[in-house]
Amino acid sequence: MSRRLVLVALLFTALYLSSNADGYPCSSTEGLPLVRNISELTQNSYGRPGLSHMTVAGSLLHGMKEVEVWLQTFASGSHTPIHRHSCEEVFVVLKGSGTLYLASNSHSKYPGNPQEFPIFSNSTFHIPVNDAHQIWNTNKEEDLQFLVIVTRPPVKVFIYDDWHMPHTAAKLKFPYYWDEECYLIPPTKDEL
Q: What is the model's pTM?
A: 0.78
> What single-letter DSSP state applies at residue 79?
B
Give the length of the chain: 192
Characterize the bridge pairing of strands 67-74 and 51-57: antiparallel
Mean pLDDT of 168-173: 97
Among candidate residues 64, 79, 73, 90, the one with its CA nearest the CA of residue 154? 64
Of 8-22, 63-77, 121-135, 149-163, the range with the lowest mean pLDDT is 8-22
> What single-letter DSSP state applies at residue 83?
E
190 SS3 class:
coil
Q: Which element (helix H / strand E) includes 4?
A: helix 3-19
Mean pLDDT of 136-142: 97
Question: How many CB atoms neighbour CB 39 within 10 A?
Answer: 7
Confidence band of 44 (pLDDT split at 50, 70, 90): confident
Instruction: Provide the pLDDT for residue 14.
Output: 37
> What single-letter DSSP state applies at residue 160?
E
Confidence band of 5 (pLDDT split at 50, 70, 90): very low
Question: How many CB atoms neighbour CB 60 within 10 A?
Answer: 26
Which of the two residues, 164 and 5, has the higher pLDDT score?
164
Instruction: Provide the pLDDT for residue 192.
Output: 56
Instruction: Kindly tell me if the per-residue pLDDT of 64 is higher than 50.
Output: yes
Strand partners, 91: 125, 148
Phi, psi of 92 (to 5 degrees): -125, 115
CATH of 3-25+42-183, one of 2.40.50.140, 2.60.120.10, 2.40.160.10, 3.30.70.890: 2.60.120.10
Cβ(164)–Cβ(114) under 8 Å?
no
